[in-house]
A and B are shown apart, each in its own frame.
Chain A
Amino acid sequence: MDDLEPMEELERDLRTAMRRQPAPPGLKRVVMERRWQARAGQRRRMVWFERLAASLVLAGVAGGAVLWRNIAERRQGEEAKQQVFIALRITNRALEQMRLQLQERDSH
């Protein structure tokens, strides 16, 4: 007998044996449930992400305010220090002038 014939018979049997099988009855329900759960989880993660982002923004704003206040206070301190130095320099100059005047008077 020709070799082709049993091969064709085998192919025919393969086609018959390998028809698509019906999926388990609960497959669609489980898929839809898992899809819903995945989306709910995604929404929960999104809420947490939004909360985290809001917290980070708030922390950034608060930190910025504290930093800005520190810088402002330091600048005010620097200005006060400079003013004290200027006052001391003026006083020093005045005292020096007085000392020179007294010295000049004593020499006469």
Chain B
Amino acid sequence: MAGDWQPDFEQLVDEHRSMVFSLAWRMTGDRGLAEEIAQDVFLELDRDLRKMESPLHACHWLRRVTMSRSADALRRRRVRSMDMWVEIDEQHGAAEERRSSPLGTRVEAMLATLPEAQRAALILRYQEDLTPDEIAATLDAPLATVKSQLQRGLKLLRAKAATQLKEYVRGA
């Protein structure tokens, strides 16, 4: 029963560190910054641990706070999308090559050039596999706005892909 659930901090870190880190990394495009954000988010979780009602609630809380802290960090650092791509490419090129296809790497790099709100919606849609309703709840945004951001983001990505990736040219 959810009411009997006792949150175990260490277990929550184990279960969700990959999610929190990936969200922060894709939002900021900076691995070091993402690691700092992930640490801060988990320490914030520790402070609010008693408020967690269920594993699902903890997971939703972590997603919401990670997205919010990443947006705060982006506003502070005013990272430009092209800089992010360069940073990802320079610092983590080798790791990227290992973990995904070259096409995937380029798609992800293009994602980093999207406006922040569209990127956030697409990350939650395709990394976390959330529905638009769940994305709206996570980002605390109206459902219509989220749907529009998803559509615009995808269109923009498609347009970028058509000009940058030959794999998509045939469909342009």
| A contact set with B: CB distance below 8 Å | 1, 3, 5-7, 9-11, 13-24, 27-28, 30-32, 34-35, 38
CA distance A14 to B154 in the complex (A): 10
Contact of B26 with A18 in the complex, beta carbons under 8 Å: yes
Known: A13-B104, A35-B9. A1 touches B171 (CB 8 A): yes
Q: Can you pick out 27 interface pairs between chain A and chain B where the beta carbons lie within 8 Å of each other? A: A1-B171, A3-B171, A6-B168, A7-B158, A7-B171, A9-B168, A10-B158, A10-B161, A14-B111, A17-B104, A17-B105, A17-B126, A18-B111, A19-B99, A21-B99, A22-B21, A23-B22, A23-B35, A24-B21, A24-B35, A27-B38, A27-B39, A28-B17, A31-B13, A31-B38, A35-B42, A38-B46
How many A-B contacts are there with CB distance less than 8 Å? 101
Nearest CB of B to A15, in Å = 5
Inter-chain contact A28/B14, CB cutoff 8 Å:
yes
Contact across chains for B126 and A32 when beta carbons are under 8 A apart: no
Q: Across chains A and B, which 4 residue pairs bring their CB atoms closest together, nearest first?
A: A6-B171, A17-B104, A23-B21, A23-B17
Contact A35 B43 (CB under 8 A): yes
B74 interface hit (Cβ, 8 Å): no
- Identify whether the interface residues of A are mostly helix, strand, loop, or mixed: helix
**10 additional contacts, CB 8 Å, given A11-B126, A15-B129, A35-B42?**
A1-B171, A6-B158, A13-B107, A18-B111, A18-B127, A21-B18, A23-B17, A23-B22, A23-B35, A24-B21
Q: Is the interface on chain B under 10, 10 to 19, 20 to 34, or 35 or more residues?
A: 35 or more
Contact, CB under 8 Å: A21 / B21: yes
Looking across the interface, which residue of chain A has its beta carbon closest to that of B20? A23
Complex alpha-carbon distance, A24 and B13, angstroms: 12
Query: Of B39, B122, B157, which one neighbours A30 at CB under 8 angstroms?
Result: B39
From A10, which residue of chain B is reached at the shortest CB distance?
A: B158
Is B137 located at the chain interface by the 8 A CB criterion? Answer: no
| B87-117 near A? 1/0 per residue, CB < 8 Å | 0000000000001110111011001000000
Q: Which residues of B contact A24 (CB under 8 A)?
A: 21, 31, 35
Neighbour of A31 across the interface among B25, B43, B99, B158, CB < 8 A: B43
Q: Are A15 and B25 in contact (CB under 8 A)?
A: no
Q: B169: shortest Cβ distance to chain A, in Å? A: 9
Nearest CB on A from B126, distance (A) = 4
- Closest B residue by C-beta to A31: B42
